[in-house]
Amino acid sequence: MRQRAAYETLAAGGMKALGGVHAYVAGCGLEKTLVDLVYLRVSQINGCAYCIDAHTHDLLKECVSIEQIALLSAWREAGAYFCDRERAALAWAEVVTRVAKTHVPDADYEAAVAVFGEKALADLTIAIGLINTYNRIAISFRTVPESVRPLAS
Please check the confidence at residue 91 and state whether its pLDDT lies above 70.
yes
How much is the pTM? Answer: 0.95
* Distance between CA atoms of residues 79 and 66, nearest Å: 15
CATH number of 7-152: 1.20.1290.10
Q: How many CB atoms neighbour CB 80 within 10 A?
A: 5
Helices of type H across the chain:
7-10, 12-27, 32-46, 49-61, 66-70, 84-97, 99-102, 106-140, 149-152
pLDDT averaged over every residue in the chain: 96
- pLDDT for 96-106, tens place per residue? 999 999 999 99
